[in-house]
Homo-oligomer: A and B are copies of this chain.
Amino acid sequence: MEKIPILKMGHFLLITIQVDMHDRLVMALQEDLTTRVVADQAKGVLIDISCLEVVDSFIGRMLANIAAMTRMLGAEIVVVGMRPAVAITIVELGLSLETVRTALSVDKGMALLTSLLKTPVEADSHEHPPE
């Protein structure tokens, strides 16, 4: 089962990361996701990383790359379920995740994506969703 499923929910796609990411899996995910964004005409992508207990520069780069790719195809990306320890590590590692929006839960991430779709003006790229 070396494949990360991409679930379609309305105009959005949902991915949950629950296995250790390695090079080949990341490449496959990037290809699958970009194909699906185009095929399903998705307006937004949610990536749940609540299972990630640790994060390294590899994962950080992966998230930034995926965000850049999907944005190129006209879809917004929101990372949801980040653990406090992961946020600490990301800052301590000096990873630049400014292009990646975050939300605390899938519900809030969907609300954020929906609000982004309603406002064609580009919002501040590292804002957090309203509580």
Which A residues form the contact surface with B (CB < 8 A)?
1, 3-5, 7-10, 14, 16, 18-20, 48, 50-53, 81, 105-107, 110
Contact = CB atoms under 8 A, between A and B. Distances in A.
Given A19-B18, A19-B19, A110-B9, A1 B52 contact: yes
A113 to B, nearest CB: 13
B10 A107 contact: yes
A107 B7 CA distance: 9
A111 B120 CA distance: 29
A7 B10 CA distance: 16
Q: Which secondary structure dominates chain A's binding surface?
A: loop
B8 A106 contact: yes
The 7 lowest CB-CB distance pairs between A and B, nearest first, are A7-B106, A5-B51, A1-B51, A5-B50, A16-B16, A9-B106, A5-B16
A8 B109 CA distance: 11
A1 B53 contact: yes
A51 B9 contact: no
A21 B130 CA distance: 37
Contacts of A10: 107
Given A18-B18, A19-B19, A105 B8 contact: yes
